[in-house]
Amino acid sequence: MNVVETELPGVLLIEPKVFGDERGFFVESFQSERYAAAGVPGPWVQDNHSRSARGVLRGLHYQLKFPQGKLVRCSRGSVFDVAVDVRQGSPTFGRSYGAILDDVDHRQLWIPPGFAHGFCVVSDDADFEYKCTELYHPDDDYGVAWNDPALKIEWPIEEAATVLSPKDAGLPRLSEMNSDFLPQYG
């Protein structure tokens, strides 16, 4: 596998080896020793899988008391995946990184604890899967507005075409956030 460091320290784009022929393909989507050596630590305590239609946008979510590291991938279809540094005091606070994840390249993104995460579906539909380093706690679920202009995210869909949950539609901009509800850097 090839590991690409992004402009956000700690956020890694992982390009696994894909073995394909006329029968289909084989890809190793996770191997604990190899991923740990690449800077993607465990332990892994929860796996999640979502299916969404074109235009669905989920995020940007993060956890505060029980921060989750996430190893994400798109196992069917195509998504634009985004990580945002929301850690107060970080030199890259408010910066984002986005990449297309799909069922052709099988690329993955490692998003460390303290980063907000979201994705939008750019294919007809998509299956999105991710491993988490911490259990999900509903009372520890926070977020930032997906369309906050300060984040400078270049989403590949028109705002009018996005499909959001009511919760995600009401998330505040980063500048509107109370510092008590943002993770600390370091």
Q: Looking at the annotation, which residues are catalytic?
A: 61, 130
Contact 156, 74 (CB under 8 A): no
Contact 93, 85 (CB under 8 A): yes
The half-sphere exposure of 100 on its side-chain side, counting CA atoms within 13 A, is 10
Q: Which long-range contacts (CB under 8 A, 24 or more apart) does 26-30 make?
A: 27/106, 28/1, 29/73, 29/106, 29/108, 30/71, 30/131
